[in-house]
């Protein structure tokens, strides 16, 4: 039962860290152009020089 004293705050801290990482990725624009990446992978252009 004493282990809950450590695990509950650790779980809350990890959850908050994940939430802040998600909010940071939203602010950084990671999810702005979802269709562009899907179409770019299908393009036939050769980018090697």
In a domain, 10, yes or no: yes
pLDDT of residue 4: 94
In a domain, 21, yes or no: yes
What sign does the dihedral 21-23-29-34 (CA atoms) show?
positive
In a domain, 44, yes or no: no
In a domain, 24, yes or no: yes
pLDDT of residue 48: 65
In a domain, 8, yes or no: yes
Range of the domain at 24: 1-28
Q: Domain tally for the chain? A: 1
In a domain, 38, yes or no: no
Query: CA angle, 21 as apex, 39 and 3 as ends, to 5°?
Result: 135
In a domain, 43, yes or no: no
Task: Note the pLDDT tens digit of each residue in 6-26.
Answer: 999 999 999 999 999 999 999
32 CA to centre of own chain: 13
Give me the mean pLDDT over the 33-44 stretch: 79
In a domain, 39, yes or no: no
């Amino acid at each position: 039962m004493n282990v809950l004293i450590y695990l509950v705050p650790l779980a809350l801290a990890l959850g908050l860290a994940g939430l802040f990482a998600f909010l940071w990725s939203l602010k950084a624009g990671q999810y702005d152009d979802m269709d562009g990446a899907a179409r770019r992978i299908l393009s036939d252009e050769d980018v090697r020089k």
